[in-house]
Structure 1
Amino acid sequence: MKTITLSDNFSCSAATVVSIGNFDGVHRGHQKLIREVVARAEQKNIASVLITFEPHTRTVLYPELSPNLLTTFEEKATLIAQCGVDYLLKITFDRSFSQLPPDEFVRQILVKRLNIKEWVMGEGHAIGKDRAGGKIFLREAMSKYHIPIFTANLLMKDALIISSTQIRKFITEGQISEAVGMLGHPYLISAERVQGLKIGSQIGFPTLNFKRPSSQKVIPPPGVYAAELSFEDTILTGALYFGDCPTFGQREVHFEFHALELNGKMPEPGETGHIWVHRFIRKDRPFSSTGELAAQIEQDVNKIRQYFSEEKLQWR
């Protein structure tokens, strides 16, 4: 997948199938829509394009109501690339761009720059100033250019609409299994490795330490989780701790990852690792001694080892 921007002075000589969205979390509903874009482009032997925004449109239009996000742009691009899209058009969203009339969006971007031949839209899609370009407008505008439209329906799970809003709620409440069920993949947290105090090594469970990401990123509650760590070509399974280490006094909130098996290349301090959170194991709490803590970690690791050997989500 190639990421492009409006400032790249590009235009698609090849015809395209296009869709648009914030795609926060790239959940199963998004994936269904993206698969339609890719499949329809392949059927026509043309290119597939997704349009997304940076920053999220709500952070510009309604900053006081803007939610914390499931994915940074880089995380979003990583997940979208796994869906087989040819091009990701990243539009810098600001007040100026938000004033672009919907008919100009269609003419300037979809027709002139992207050479669109089919539009795939989700429920509630709207484009242009004040979201004036809704379903009725889009059908009329696309008809003017003889561009067919396919509408992807909403996806449900356990009687709930799969949405970024619902997934944010699940994660902040520690309901990781429910969130992962809607995401269709473990929850991705990209974090910079930092030098730790080596306390884990002293009690028999060495860890890699990672800085807490931006406060705008949705983070699960403090506790222990089954997780994977990926870096370059290495993928490790292990125990993820998130918290401030109350047993050792208040420390800065951070992540620690203990690998079940150490093999492959690890991120060095200053490098970014990708943490994939699979399942909640237990809440964070202080322990009366390092011996009591080590005994609890051993129980946690055994549960996590069992999860990865028997119940691991198959998603790659």
Structure 2
Amino acid sequence: MTRANLYVPVTARRGSIAIGNFDGVHRGHAEMLQRLKQMATATASHAVAVTFDPHPIAILRPEFTPPILTTLSERITLLKESGADEVVVLPVTQQLLEMTAEQFFTEVIVEQFEARGIVEGPNFHFGKDRHGDTLLLQSLCDTHGIQCHVVKPVVDGDLMISSSRIRELLCSRAMTQATELLGHPYRLSGVVKQGAQRGRTIGFPTANLTDIPTLLPAHGVYAGLTQLDGRWFPVAASIGPNPTFGEHREKIECHIDGYVGDLYGKILHVDLLSEVRALQSFSSIDLLISQIQSDVAYCRRTAQQFLAKG
């Protein structure tokens, strides 16, 4: 890897840095970024988050690449909201992955970032075959006169908060617990395309999301919210097939409570807050409508409670 492969802006040099995938930017990441901000303040430098794109596994073993929790643009936004002054995206190439831990430290951390300090989590590894760990990092930092701080793991119960654990929760329809570990709603972003328009005929029009790049939660109904025209609207989102009408194709249908407008062809961001129920088949349209009314009322209360917290 050469300097030409990585653009480090002037404001990101001679700062305090934290390096990681940061997928989801969960509470564990937020703790690390707060410690990074403290170090940057103490050294009169910038807090710089360095993230990888794509995930290293996508290059090493593509078949094992985990589904992402956040797009790159969302990750950058969340990192800055969590305390980073600058976010630098480190392009993952085979050349980068062939670097030894010592090479990565010298050529990237020392020569390109000119780091004054570094903050990492307890499971941080770097260099070819993940040879470098926090003990080697501390030793190298001591040799080069760079401050080093390894944060303690942030736990929920007896388990450390991690992106992989959040993926497991989302795939189990445990949205409430997943958002608690994230520290923020789980966002789905997609393009609105025309569907069967069946919801409109029963009084609950939906925006049908397609081309979603992030992990889809397990099939079910979820409470969320979305911001349109400067206003927040409650959302009842159904993910999966429509068993009442004998449909088996997976769909993401979002009823935006109180919104009237044309969203076709536009990108819609839906922030999911909690699970509502599993999908089920209803024996009549009247029973379906009654259940949707109950779902929307629940979603409305959930969104209002979330917004009231500020």
Fold match, TM over 0.5?
A: yes
CA–CA distance in structure 1, aligned partners of residues 64 and 303 of structure 2? 38
Matches within 5 A, 1:169-180: 169-180=168-179
Q: C-alpha separation between the residues in 2 aligned to 1:14 and 1:85?
A: 13
1:43 aligns with 2:50: no
Is residue 185 from structure 1 mapped to residue 180 from structure 2 by the alignment? no
Structure 2 unpaired stretches of 5+: none
Asked if 2 retains the 8 angstrom alpha-carbon contact of 1:190 and 1:213, the reply is yes
1:104 corresponds in structure 2 to 103
Note if contact 1:231-1:267 (Cα within 8 Å) is conserved in structure 2: no
Does 2:285 align with 1:290?
Answer: yes
Q: Is the 8 A contact 1:267 1:273 kept in 2?
A: no
**Equivalences for residues 235-314 of structure 1 within 5 A:** 235-250=232-247, 252-262=249-259, 268-310=263-305, 312=306
1:73-107 Cα distance to aligned partner (Å, 9 max, x none): 22322321221312111112132210012222222
Higher mean alpha-carbon deviation, 274-283 vs 79-88, is at 79-88
Aligned pair in 2 of structure 1 residues 267, 178: CA closer, same or farther (>3 Å)?
farther
Q: Following the alignment from structure 1 to structure 2, what is the Cα–Cα distance between the partners of residues 314 and 242?
A: 26
Cα 1:233–1:58 change in 2 (3 A) is farther
State the distance in 2 between where 1:69 and 1:153 align.
Answer: 25
Q: How many residues align?
A: 307
Indicate conservation of the 8 Å contact 1:28/1:182, yes or no: yes
SS at match of 1:221: coil
38-47 or 151-160: bigger deviation? 38-47
Q: Tell me if structure 1 keeps the 8 A contact 2:225–2:303.
A: no
DSSP-derived class of the 1:8 partner: coil
SS of the residue corresponding to residue 243 of structure 1 reads strand
Tell me what 1:225 maps to: 222
Measure how far apart 1:231 and its partner are. Answer: 5.1
Task: Determine the structure 1 residue equivalent to 2:15.
Answer: 16
Whether the 8 Å contact between 1:193 and 1:267 is mirrored in structure 2 is no
The one-letter code sitting in structure 2 at the alignment partner of 1:292 is L
TM-score with structure 1 setting the length: 0.88
Aligned-residue RMSD, C-alpha: 2.4
Residues 289/13 of structure 1: CA separation in 2 closer, same or farther (3 Å cut):
closer
Secondary structure in 1 aligned to 2:208? strand
CA distance in 1, matches of 2:280, 2:41: 52
Pairwise CA distance, 1:125 = 0.9
- Output one character per residue of 1:185-206: Cα deviation in whole Å (capped at 9) or x when no partner: 1112221211233221211112
Over the matched positions of the two proteins, sequence identity in percent amounts to 29
SS in 2 for 1:253: strand
How far apart are 1:46 and its partner, in Å?
Answer: 1.3
Residue 48 of structure 2 is aligned to residue 55 of structure 1: no
Q: Distance in 1 between matches of 2:269 and 2:78?
A: 12
Residues in 2 aligned to 1:28 and 1:73: alpha-carbon distance in whole angstroms: 18
Structure 1 letter corresponding to 2:128: K
Cα gap change, 1:54/1:115 in structure 2, threshold over 3 Å: closer, same or farther? Answer: same
Deviation at 1:298, TM superposition (A): 0.4
Greater shift, 58-67 or 235-244, is seen at: 58-67
Q: Deviations over 1:277-303 (max 9, x none)?
A: 111111112223332211110011122
- What is the DSSP-based 3-state SS (H/G/I as helix, E as strand, rest coil) of the residue aligned with 1:225? strand
Q: Which runs of 5+ in 1 are unaligned?
A: none
Distance 1:7 1:13, change over 3 A: closer
Letter in 2 for 1:244: P
- Residue correspondence of structure 1 range 27-176 to structure 2 within 5 A: 27-176=26-175
Comparing 70-79 and 158-167, the one that deviates more = 70-79
Q: What displacement does 1:120 show?
A: 0.5
